[in-house]
Each structure stands twice: as C-alpha cells, then as structure tokens.
Amino acid sequence: MSRLKVGLLFGGSSEEHPISVKSAQEVARHLDPEKYEPFYVGITKAGAWRLCDGPGPDWERRDGRAVVLSPDREARGLLVLERGRYETLRLDLVFAVLHGRFGEDGAIQGLLELSGIPYVGCDIQSSALCMDKSLTYLVAASAGVPTPRFRIVDQGEDVDPGGLGYPVFVKPARSGSSFGVGKVGSECELAGAVEAARRYDPKVLIEEAVSGSEVGCAVAGSGGSLFVAEVDRIALTHGFFRIHQEDDPEGGSDNATFIVPADISEESRTRVQETAKAVYRALGCSGLARVDMFLEDDGRVVLNEVNTFPGMTSYSRYPRMLEAAGVPRAELIDRLVAAALAGRTR
C-alpha cells in the first residue's frame, strides 16, 4: 500500500510563527511513517516558502529549496524551483500547521482551494468568520448562543472612556492567541490598551468582562458527525489567561493550570459540550476547532472565541483534551487526514 504524500506547512508571517514551528514538531513526531510520506514546507517570517528537512529549531538557518504551491489543478502539489527550472512534487493532502493571520483567516485555505488540494481543517468561510471575533459573536448570537456585549473601534476612531462599565477587555478583532489583549480597569487605561491592540489589527473590540470560569472544548469532524472531547478548565492564580505569552511555555503557564477533565459538574460539562457543538455548526467549522467559553456560577455558558487551528504543541490544550477522551495524537492525525480526504476531494 502506497503512503499518502502529505505536505506539512509551518512557520508563517504572523506573530504566531514560533508557536507554529512547535506545533509542527509535534505533528511531525506523530506522523506514522508507514502511512505518510511527509514533505516539509517552512514559511519564513518574511513569507518565503522553503522545502526543508523538517521543523527543527534552526530550520530557517539551513539551506532549503524554494517552493511554491502549484496553481494547476492537473498538477496538484508543489513546484520546486532550482536553477531557473522547476519540478512538480505531487501531494495527496496538505496539513497546514499554521496559526493566526494567513493560517486561520482563510488565506491559506483559499490558496489550497484554488490549487484543488485537499487540506486539513476549516474552509475559507468558517476560517474567516472565526478569525474576526465580532463576526463570530454575531453569528453565534443568531444561533442562540450567549456572547459578551461588545463594541467595535475602527481605525482612527476615538473612544469615549466614560461610556463603559469597567472592567473591560480590549482585543484585536483579528489576531491569534493573546497578542494585544488587555484588561482595562479604569478610564485612564483605555487609550493605551486600544493602542496596544492596534499593533496587531486596526479593528479593535472592547467587550465586557464575563464573570465565570474559563473552559474549553475540543471538537472534531463535520456536519452531523462530530466528536466532542473532554472539557478543560483554566485555573488562574492571578491576572487573566494569556496563552503563548509565558516565559517558559513548556514548563507551564505563569499564572494558570489546565485541569483536564474539568472539575465541573456533569450537567455543566454536558452544557459546555453542547454549546461547543452549536457554535461549531453555526460557524460552519469542519475538521477541528477549539471552542473557548465562560461557565458562569449560575450554569450559563458564554462564548469567548473559536480557534480553527488550535495549538498542537507538547503543552497545547486541544490535543490534551483529545487524549483525555481516549484519542492519542497519532490517532487524531489519522482522523483529521481521513476527514480532509473524505470532504475535500474534488
């Protein structure tokens, strides 16, 4: 039986470049060599594509051949460029281990759709919807899912700090992880927080601070066939949760502990899982996503955000939730690949 030729994309031009490399290292480590023949494509911070030996810590300092995605659907795969000539390297599937801008916002998904190559994860529309938190809230609310109250601050717009009820969170509308996110407790802090968020996106959200436990749920699959993994809870010692802002992420968060399975009642667990499925379906997600929510003291579940390609690092929440549900990483990869081939072969 021939092995599937899988293009593993990692790196990228967003602020989440180093996280993507760590995620790709874990995916590469769990690829079954009897099932898959991997081809590693690293995207530098400047946006150059390089065919390389793998997502090692120093891959950008090594020589790699320039490569681009073939736009020709009759030659699905990569065009490897060398000495003014190119050769075609056919692929059966692309596994884009990319986070944030250009990885989760529909950009790479659009490129892959044009090229006709099946790929792991959400499609263009759901990726774009989930990347913009304001659109995520609007669609989820229309499906009956509670969301935080928020307002949008457009580029160049001034905000009246006196018209808000503090504390509030200030966030880039379209950015990954916790980059640019700030908690504002008074009027005098607002302008600085908006300016910090604008470093990542000119469109900024100001939203109410929801009182409740931060919980998350890993979802996989599509349509009526969804797999919902264990729920986790983030136990904070101080401040607020800032993912991928830690000094030593492999050693644990600076102010948070992840409890998997979450130490909540069975009734609350079911409510969180059902809310995650409702959000996933309303936004048209497929393949995989992590739905982050707040669980209030009265049992009400409020949406926080949706990650259409959550971290796959050694310390990431998504694979931990799947493992707690009895799905190890190698099996998760098999499921994602099978879903991609079943849903996107065109």
Q: How far apart are CA 282 and CA 214, in angstroms?
A: 21
Q: How far apart are CA 126 and CA 132, in angstroms?
A: 10
- Give the pLDDT confidence of 238-257 residue by residue, as tens digits: 455 555 445 555 555 566 78
Q: How far apart are CA 14 and CA 103, in angstroms?
A: 8
Backbone dihedral angles phi then psi of residue 126, each to the nearest 5 degrees: -70, -35
- Give the pLDDT confidence of 314-345 residue by residue, as tens digits: 999 999 999 999 999 999 999 999 999 997 54
Ramachandran sector of residue 83 (left: φ over 0; alpha: ψ -120 to 50; beta: rest): left
- Residue spans in the chain of domains classed CATH 3.40.50.20: 4-119
For 19-76, the DSSP string reads: HHHHHHHHHHHT--TTTEEEEEEEE-TT--EEEES---TTGGGS--EEEEE---GGG-
- Whole-structure pTM value: 0.91
CATH class as words, domain 4-119: alpha beta
289 DSSP β-pair partners: 219
CATH class as words, domain 150-208: alpha beta
- Report whether CATH 3.30.70.1880 matches the domain 128-146+211-344: no
- Residue spans in the chain of domains classed CATH 3.30.470.20: 128-146+211-344
In the chain, the amino acid numbered 183 is K
- Give the pLDDT confidence of 64-123 residue by residue, as tens digits: 899 999 999 998 999 998 888 989 999 999 999 999 999 999 999 999 999 999 999 999
pLDDT of 223 above 90:
no
What integer best gives the mean pLDDT of the chain? Answer: 91
pLDDT band for position 18 (cuts 50, 70, 90): very high
Collapse the DSSP code of 247 into the 3-class scheme (helix H, G, I; strand E, B; otherwise coil) and give the result: coil
Using an 8 Å Cβ cutoff, are 32 and 334 in contact? Answer: yes
Please identify which residue in the block is written with the tokens 């264990």: 230
